[in-house]
Structure 1
Amino acid sequence: MSQPRSTHDEVAEAIRAMEPTGESLEFKQSTPLWVQVVKWGLILFSIVVLAYISQQLIEAGYWLMVSLTAFVAICILAIYATRRAIPLKYLFPGVLLMLALQIWPLVYTVSMSFTNYGAGHLFSKEEAIASIEANSVREVEGAQRYALNIAVPDGADVATGDLAYLLTNPDGEFFVGTLDGLEPLDAEGVEAGPTGRIISAPGWITLTPQQINARSADLAEFGVPLTNEAGETTGGVRQVGLSEAFVGSPTRVYDEETDTITDQVTGTVYVAQDAQWVPQDGAGAALPQGWRENVGFDNYTTAFTDPVLREGLTKIFLWNVFFAAFTVASTFLLGMAIALLMNDDRLKGKAIYRSLLILPYALPVYVTALVWASMFNQEFGLINNLTGLNINWLGDQTWARTAVLITNLWLGFPYWFIVCTGALQAIPGDVREAAAIDGAGAFRTVRSVIMPLLLVAVGPLMIASFSFNFNNFGLIWLLTEGGPFEGGQSQIGSTDLLITLAFRLALGGVTPNFGFASAISVIIFFLVAGISYIGFRQTKALEDVN
């Protein structure tokens, strides 16, 4: 009677039988049905979202972005619809987010820095001409009027979204008027009042009288151009009050052959100069509608050659470097000192103390900065009232910078306290015992033993902290808004960082200049990159510390 063979023998025999053919064992496991449903559901959802984005981009005319969106959709299908490309299934989301949130903003900022993009230079030359002609229309005698409502696209901010006219002609037909012209509006889903005025329409948000009044400045410059079959502007539609619009003919007409605009009322001829229409005879102001164009390196040369900006940028850069370096050094030393104290085994109740010490780090910066700003108030602030001082903390250059450094010390030391606490607990106790046996005192142990070991862990974090504080926009803007401003100017403040200056140039002034602010941002990028590179080179000396 034969003896049954063991499972081990059967497996060994099977492996030996497969060796000559070069085959390999495959252990296949079926994927649960619910996993397949979730996977294909997510793929389908991603494709639908990308298809919707593509549709919006097509309507806006951004064909390059349409191509990129289609490419992303193809990549999703190629990577996740098959069992191949396993590494890409994990790498693709990170690469996509890096391109969308890091690389693309960087490329866009650099490209914008070579343009004059800003107030009065937002559109193309053709759009500027159409806007000028539409805004100069006067009502044609006997022409029909439209019932009017003001709207913005659905999903847009009512305070900043692109304006549009929702119009109803005397025959009851609905239209939408934008800067691109007048187009019919599908009557399905449109709700109109007794006078024919559109109350609501699919895809549009109608504005309330209060919201219309808030955007009166934008509406004053808004008009709907009317064109003929040849594409030539023949007139425009303008608002009259809150509920009517009229058809008019332009008083300022563009001549393509001479590239000029003529005001038919005053006879003034405007010529193109520096992306604006200026009077040919030099008398009078330029028209407010300019256009966007490439200016090369003008923004960079302005930053370095304009005497006021050059002197201001130099002062801001020196203060910027000092602010970031002093902040890192002071917060690190204070955080490390407290961490050393809390790391002493003889101290009782360390958990409570540690919880209290991280409170400044746990509170939102915008709350803490505003509280400190109130405490630094010269007349009613807590600091002057408690100390009996009469220091103008936020109105004097030196004291304002001191206030900024004190506030940032309060905000920053808990971070280094947490980091140093973890690093100190990772240092073996034998190292300190050996130093004590060698006769090293407490200070010498910290300086010669603990500090080198600590810097190995926190060195890269110090460089990252320097980069963060170099662009610490929130603290400066909430505490001082870059001020105080001296010398009768309002562009360059005593506590300004380069990033707050760029923000003020882009959004804070009467005539925002996004192109110049982008150039400043690019300069900041290279400065931070250069300083960080030097810092990382210096940290190589710590690699030999064991």
Structure 2
Amino acid sequence: MTGIKKFFTLFILLLGLLIVYKLLTQGYLLLGLVATCLWALTTVIFLIKGAFPYRFMYPGLLTFFLFMVIPILFTIYISFTNLGTGHLLNLARVQEILLSEKHTLENTPSYNFYLYPQTNDLYLIHVYNEDEHEHYLGQFDINKENKSVNLKPVPRPEFVNPPLTRGDVFKNFDSLNSIDFLVPDRPSVKIASTNYMASIVNRYEVKENDKILDTITQTLYWPDFTSGYYTDGKENIAPGFYVNVGFSNFLKLFTNKSMKKPFAKVITWTMLWSCCSVLLTFCLGIFLALFVNSKYFKGKFIYRILIIIPYSIPFFISVLIFKGLYNKDYGIINDIVAYFFNYKIDWLGNALWAKISCLLVNLWLGFPYMFLITTGILQSIPNSVYEAAAMDGAGKFLTFRKITLPLVMSAVAPLLVGSFAFNLNNFVGIYLLTAGGPPMMEASTPVGETDILISYTYRLAFEGGRGQDFGMASAIALIIFIIIAILTLINFKLSGMLNDKR
């Protein structure tokens, strides 16, 4: 059994080493570096006896690295690049694509062909040009690496057996396409399709220092690590490759005129959205909790059940229902408004009303949570505290301001910070209701009046009208990460988790 374990461990380590090698040789340096660290950690834990206790922590550490550390590192890395539409590949892959590009030589004859199977994997090829009355025959083994096949001129041949179908030719196309067929006194030809041959050559040739030569125009191109394209100084060759752009993505957000104003509006609305959502849900939640917990209130059990109904319905279903209710032409809310005021509000098409709609929907979805939290806190406050306040002559408002609210806030403050962080990333609430709309007309990027940072990031990454911009999206995601990290530290501070004393 011990031998099997050692063999399995050795196999896993060798597999990990192979993955590291593949990543590094393919140009994925960041992923290769992370994979190297994981491979080294695995080697130490499973091969060194002194590290035996860490084997029990290994699954948790591995999961933490794979699903937390690696995405964060990758996002940070991408935020400093121009990765996006037109720049999705690394330099090595772009060079490989360009070098595989073919072109047909001008003023050269083309041919049709038939393939006839012979014995022992041998094939006979009949190449012909009916216009020139030319016929050639050649023989080759399809399973061997044939760099070239000599064709001999012959009179028009006759064959007994039928040739391969175009479907059968297609199955072996990769092997056939690599062969040069040498026509006497003519340029060599290659198989271009399942029945067509022509003089095909590579358009680009590699030169020193990753430069490439265009064999048609004899133009020399070199990789420009500023624009991320192969260029000759005047024109660029697509596709491009991603390059390190430093802090360019971050600077664009704060200095580029076409992005600075929309980004400022997005970040302002994000903060306003998060603050108002927390404030409104907390105020309504504590108001209902005070109302329902009053000793003069009857039927508390029934009302508590009714109040938490919005909390029990799946979030996305509630949002989609409200989207229908807010419909300008057919929504029931506008039917009521039109009945009393003879006017229909464009709830989702007008910037102001769209923001109000988002806040109202989030209020409906969020107040039950605050109601439950504050109800539990209120029920934990001893009645003797209120009795003592009443004996001192304190009224209901003064009792609430001096006793109830401070006691509630001391317990709920960390939860409010957590709720703020949640709403900061509340992608579903915005995207399902308004999809970020209505659009900002002055913006050069896909952004709407109700977009918050997380939905703006999504639209930059996946919905750009002029292409995807993963670099810019990652830069915004990094800003969100920093904000959430700061809020988390504040939360830890408020909850006392950073104190040394336990």
TM-score (structure 1 length as normaliser): 0.66
Question: Sequence identity of aligned pairs in percent?
Answer: 32
The 3 A distance-change label for structure 1 pair 75 and 255 is closer
Equivalent positions of 1:196-345 (< 5 A) are 249-257=200-208, 260-265=211-216, 270-273=221-224, 274-278=227-231, 280-282=233-235, 286-345=236-295
Distance 2:10 2:368 in 1: 45
1:57 maps to 19
2:87/2:241 contact within 8 Å kept: yes
C-alpha distance in 2 between matches for 1:114 and 1:59: 25
Q: Matches of 1:445 and 1:503 in 2, distance apart?
A: 47
| CA displacement at 1:535 relative to structure 2 | 6.7
SS of 1:479's partner is coil
Q: CA RMSD in A?
A: 4.4
Q: Summarize deviations over 1:400-424 as a string: whole Å, max 9, x none.
A: 1111111111111111112222222
Alpha-carbon distance between aligned partners in 2 of 1:145 and 1:326, rounded to the nearest angstrom: 75
The match for 1:119 is 85
Q: Is the 8 A contact 2:436 2:450 kept in 1?
A: yes
> Judging changes above 3 Å, is the alpha-carbon distance between structure 1 residues 82 and 348 closer, same or farther for their aligned structure 2 residues?
farther
Map of 1:415 onto structure 2: 369
Distance 1:488 1:452, change over 3 A: closer
- Name the structure 1 match of 2:469: 513
Separation in structure 2 between the aligned mates of residue 532 and residue 402 of structure 1, nearest angstrom: 28
**Pair 1:360–1:174, CA change in 2 (3 A):** farther
Cα distance in structure 2, aligned partners of 1:444 and 1:340: 14
Q: Does 1:106 align with 2:59?
A: no
Write the deviation string for residues 378-410 of structure 1: whole angstroms up to 9, x where unpaired: 111121012214111111111111111111111
Measure the CA separation in 2 of the matches of 1:77 and 1:491. 49
Select between 332-341 and 524-533 the one with higher mean Cα deviation. Answer: 524-533
TM-superposition CA deviations, 1:101-143 (whole Å, max 9, x none): 2232222211221222222222222221221232344499679
8 Å contact from structure 2 (residues 85, 467) kept in 1: yes
Alpha-carbon distance, 1:328 to partner:
0.5
1:97 is displaced (CA, Å) by 3.3
Q: How does 1:129-528 map to 2 (within 5 A)?
A: 129-138=95-104, 173=143, 195=168, 249-257=200-208, 260-265=211-216, 270-273=221-224, 274-278=227-231, 280-282=233-235, 286-388=236-338, 389-487=343-441, 489=443, 491-509=446-464, 510-528=466-484
Please give the alpha-carbon distance, in whole angstroms, between the structure 2 residues aligned to 1:438 and 1:227: 102
Asked whether the equivalents of residues 117 and 514 of structure 1 are also in contact (C-alpha less than 8 Å), the reply is: yes
**Quick one: distance in 2 between partners of 1:369 and 1:238?**
58
Q: Give unmatched runs, 5+ long, in structure 2.
A: 25-31, 116-139, 146-165, 181-187
**2:228 alignment partner AA:** A
Verify the 8 A CA contact 1:483 1:493 in the aligned structure 2.
Answer: yes
Read off the aligned partner of 1:377 and give its amino acid letter.
N
Cα distance, 1:319 vs structure 2 = 1.2
| CA displacement 1:45-88 (0-9 Å, x = unmatched) | 99699669738825843554554444454566479x99974xx6
Q: Is the 8 A contact 2:262 2:440 kept in 1?
A: no
Q: Is the 8 A contact 2:413 2:494 kept in 1?
A: no
Q: Secondary structure at the match of 2:223?
A: strand
Aligned counterparts of 1:364 and 1:49: Cα–Cα separation in 2: 46
Cα 1:390–1:538 change in 2 (3 A) is same
Q: 1:413 to 1:263 in 2, by over 3 A?
A: same
Q: What is the deviation of 1:226?
A: 7.2
Separation in structure 2 between the aligned mates of residue 238 and residue 398 of structure 1, nearest angstrom: 63
2:158 aligns to what? none
Q: Secondary structure at the match of 1:106?
A: helix
Task: Tell me by how many angstroms 1:144 deviates.
Answer: 8.9
How far, CA to CA, are the matches of 1:333 and 1:174 in structure 2? 79
What does residue 211 of structure 1 align with? Answer: none
Partners of 2:34 and 2:195 lie apart in 1 by 38
1:12 counterpart residue number: none
| Paired residue secondary structure (2:168) | coil
Take 1:268 and 1:380, find their aligned partners in 2: how far apart are those partners?
62
Tell me the TM-score normalized by structure 2: 0.71
| Structure 1 residue 446, shift from structure 2 partner | 2.1
Letter in 2 for 1:367: I
Q: What is the total number of aligned residue pairs between the two structures?
A: 425
1:341–1:174 CA distance, 2 compared to 1 (3 A): farther
Contact between 2:80 and 2:475, CA under 8 Å: does it hold in 1? yes
Question: Cα distance 1:292–1:529, how it changes in 2: closer, same or farther (>3 A)?
Answer: same
Give the 3-state SS of the residue equivalent to 2:237 in structure 1: coil
The Cα shift of 1:463 comes to 0.6
* Alpha-carbon distance, 1:493 to partner: 1.4
Aligned residue type for 1:477: Y
Contact 1:251 1:265 survives alignment (8 Å)? no
Q: Secondary structure at the match of 1:378?
A: coil
Tell me, yes or no, if the aligned pair for 2:13 and 2:43 is still in contact at 8 Å.
Answer: no
- Do the aligned residues in 1 keep the contact of 2:446 with 2:463 (CA within 8 Å)? no
In the TM superposition, residue 484 of structure 1 has moved relative to its aligned partner by: 0.8
Contact persistence 1:317–1:497 (CA under 8 A) = yes
Alpha-carbon shift at residue 538 of structure 1 (Å):
7.0
Q: What amino acid is the match of 2:95?
A: I
- Once the two structures are overlaid, the 10-residue window that deviates more, 477-486 or 357-366, is 357-366
Q: Deviations over 1:226-254 (max 9, x none)?
A: 799xxxxxx9x9995xx899898455314
* Structure 1 SS opposite 2:230: strand
Distance 1:82 1:351 in 2: 59
| Alignment CA distance shift 1:426-1:307 (3 Å) | same
AA of the residue aligned to 2:263 = L
Conserved? CA contact 1:378–1:384, under 8 Å: yes
Q: Which residue of 2 aligns with 1:9?
A: none
The one-letter code sitting in structure 1 at the alignment partner of 2:229 is: Q
Equivalent residues of 2:113, 2:197 under 8 A apart: yes
Counterpart-to-counterpart distance in 2, 1:49 and 1:331: 55
